[in-house]
């Protein structure tokens, strides 16, 4: 009998050694109580979000809005009529396109997002350096007008394949599509051009997708693909306490298979790397309708923080639509540079930062949206100083389920987020 007790004690000690800090965990009921208090304070906030119109900015800024198909169609027709008058009056054929260059971007601390200023450039057909881009712009406008007339959606890839020789590369047709959105003053989704499905969601969420009710607890490990057309999503219902935004597919699969959302009621969402428009819109919709805190789990490297900032502050490439694409007040849960020592991540699971990584980290330290968060600055300085990075999967050195069984529960228990 004594031998059995010794063996049990030895097993317990061995488990604590292989899964450090597990002994610090409180019961699930106690952690849930902590989370409920956080959620209630988040949902009780009734302050109306600030908009550009509420601020007296020294710079004039440009924002787009959702337009109906008929409005997009009439705007294109008005633009073509103006071009016709230009040509007939001998002024030539040119587009005035809002500039989306870095110099025309502005971070607004009060809104905590990047917006587009009002500088524009002229794209003349008669100039050799811009003739091709002007032709692509005219082609994209023509294709969008067709979509308005037929009331159908196409993917960006479909658009590219209408004239491969002209576009040459989908990057070029995608860039001009964003230019067209700016010119017309509408969101990209208003053009009825969508990206292929990329993001997925699983957990305590029920919503309607084009009239069909979807229960995300019954979607298996793979979860439900986030619809590329956010307009068909509605009737969101949830008993979750928070939204867990995950950078990578591998960590998402681990949490989905472990049914982490049942142990700690939550909604888990990922764009499998770089955030796509549909996932950003879907996250914003969940945050606004469900009034839940959003906690982000990304790699401990400069690119993880860049991905987090795209969700929260917007991308410079699509700053013209940041009002619709950004989710306010996302908390950085992990994995943070300070976690590498705090959770005793083994040296063999840490990676040396490349010169490009270090440069990216230093560049981020110069960004206004990073400077606004002292915690982010501290973590980034630590990363650049130690020249070490780590992926979420580094936690697997303590066991494949350490992420869901110890790391995340302890983070939630300690409310350890920035």
CB 270, CB 252: distance < 8 Å:
yes
Confidence of residue 9 (pLDDT cuts 50, 70, 90): very low
Q: What is the pLDDT of residues 269-299, one digit of tens each?
A: 999 989 999 999 999 999 999 999 999 999 9
Confidence of residue 46 (pLDDT cuts 50, 70, 90): low
Confidence of residue 346 (pLDDT cuts 50, 70, 90): very high
pLDDT higher than 50, residue 240: yes
Mean pLDDT of 86-90: 90
pLDDT higher than 90, residue 239: yes
Do the annotations mark residue 405 as ligand-binding?
no
Confidence of residue 12 (pLDDT cuts 50, 70, 90): very low
Do the annotations mark residue 276 as ligand-binding?
no
Catalytic, 161? Answer: yes
Q: Which of 107, 161, 343, 402 is catalytic?
A: 161
pLDDT higher than 90, residue 56: no
pLDDT higher than 60, residue 1: no
Q: Which architecture, in CATH terms, is 53-194?
A: Orthogonal Bundle (1.10)
> What is the CATH class of 197-414?
alpha beta
Confidence of residue 6 (pLDDT cuts 50, 70, 90): very low
Query: What distance in Å separates the CA atoms of residue 206 and residue 235, rounded to the nearest whole number?
Result: 8
pLDDT higher than 50, residue 219: yes
What's the per-residue H, E or C state across the chain?
A: CHHHHHHHHHHHHHHHHHCCCHHHCCCHHHHHHHHHHHHHHHHCCCCCCCCHHHCCCCCCEECCECCCHHHHHHHHHHHHHHHHHHHHCCCCCEEEEECCCHHHEEEECCCCEEEEECCEEEEECCCCCCHHHHHHHHHHHHHHHHHHHHCCCEEHHHHHCCCHHHHCCHHHHHHHHHHHHHHHCECHHHHCEECCCCCEEEECCEEEECCEEEEHHHCCCCCEECCCCHHHEEEEECCCCEEEEECCHHHHHHHHHCCHHHHCCEEEEECCCCCCHHHHHHHHHHHHHHCCCEEEECCECHHHHHHHHHHHHCCHHHHHHHHHHCCCCEEEEECCHHHHHHCCCCHHHCEECCHHHHHHHHHHHCCHHHHCCHHHHHHHHHHHHHCEEECHHHHHHHCCCHHHHHHHHHHHHHCCCC
pLDDT higher than 90, residue 242: yes
Per the DSSP assignment, residues forming a β-bridge with 328 are none
Mean pLDDT of 351-367: 94
Mean predicted lDDT score pLDDT of the chain: 89
Name the residue among 73, 291, 78 with its Cα closest to residue 190: 73
Mean pLDDT of 8-25: 63
Considering only CA atoms, give the Rg of the chain.
24
Per the DSSP assignment, residues forming a β-bridge with 154 are 193
Confidence of residue 312 (pLDDT cuts 50, 70, 90): very high
pLDDT higher than 60, residue 50: yes
Confidence of residue 43 (pLDDT cuts 50, 70, 90): low
**Which of 40-49, 227-236, 374-383 is modeled with the greatest confidence?**
374-383
For residue 224, give both structure tokens.
Answer: 């439900």
Q: What's the pLDDT at 92? A: 85
Q: What's the pLDDT at 213? A: 94
Q: Where are the domains of the chain?
A: 53-194, 197-414
Q: What's the pLDDT at 47? A: 65
Confidence of residue 7 (pLDDT cuts 50, 70, 90): very low
Confidence of residue 378 (pLDDT cuts 50, 70, 90): very high
CB 361, CB 384: distance < 8 Å:
yes
């Amino acid at each position: 009998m004594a031998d059995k007790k010794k063996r049990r004690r030895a097993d317990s000690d061995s488990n604590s050694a292989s899964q450090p800090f597990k002994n610090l965990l409180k019961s699930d009921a106690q952690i849930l109580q902590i989370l409920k208090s956080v959620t209630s304070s988040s949902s009780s906030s009734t302050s109306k979000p600030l908009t550009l119109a509420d601020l007296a900015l020294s710079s004039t800024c440009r924002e787009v809005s959702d337009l109906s198909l008929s409005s997009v169609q009439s705007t294109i027709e008005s633009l073509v009529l103006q071009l016709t008058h230009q040509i007939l009056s001998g002024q030539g054929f040119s587009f005035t396109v809002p500039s989306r260059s870095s110099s025309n971007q502005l971070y607004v601390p009060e809104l905590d997002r990047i917006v587009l200023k009002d500088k524009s450039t002229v794209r003349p057909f008669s100039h050799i350096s811009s003739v091709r881009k002007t032709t692509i712009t005219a082609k994209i406008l023509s294709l969008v007008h067709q979509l308005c007339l037929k009331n159908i959606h196409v993917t960006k890839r479909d658009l590219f394949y209408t004239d491969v020789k002209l576009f040459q590369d989908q990057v070029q047709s995608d860039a001009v599509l964003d230019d067209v959105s700016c010119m017309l003053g509408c969101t990209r989704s208003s053009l009825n051009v969508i990206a292929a499905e990329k993001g997925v969601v699983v957990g305590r969420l029920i919503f309607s997708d084009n009239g069909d009710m979807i229960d995300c607890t019954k979607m298996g490990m793979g979860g439900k693909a986030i619809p590329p057309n956010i307009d068909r999503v509605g009737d969101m219902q949830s008993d979750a306490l928070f939204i867990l935004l995950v950078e990578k597919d591998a960590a998402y699969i681990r949490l989905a298979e472990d049914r982490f959302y049942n142990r700690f009621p939550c909604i888990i969402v990922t764009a499998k790397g770089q955030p796509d428009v549909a996932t950003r819109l879907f996250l914003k919709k969940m945050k606004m309708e469900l009034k839940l805190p959003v906690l982000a789990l990304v790699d401990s490297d400069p690119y993880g923080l860049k991905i987090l900032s795209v969700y929260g502050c917007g991308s410079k490439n699509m700053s013209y639509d940041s009002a619709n694409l950004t989710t306010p007040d996302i908390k950085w849960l992990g994995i943070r540079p300070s976690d590498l020592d705090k959770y005793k991540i083994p040296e063999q699971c840490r990676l040396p930062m490349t010169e490009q990584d270090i440069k990216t980290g230093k560049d981020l330290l110069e960004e206004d949206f990073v400077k606004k968060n002292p915690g982010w600055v501290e973590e980034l300085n630590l990363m650049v100083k130690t020249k070490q990075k780590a992926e979420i999967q580094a936690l697997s050195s303590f066991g494949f389920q350490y992420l869901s069984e110890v790391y995340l529960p302890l983070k939630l228990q300690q409310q350890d987020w920035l």
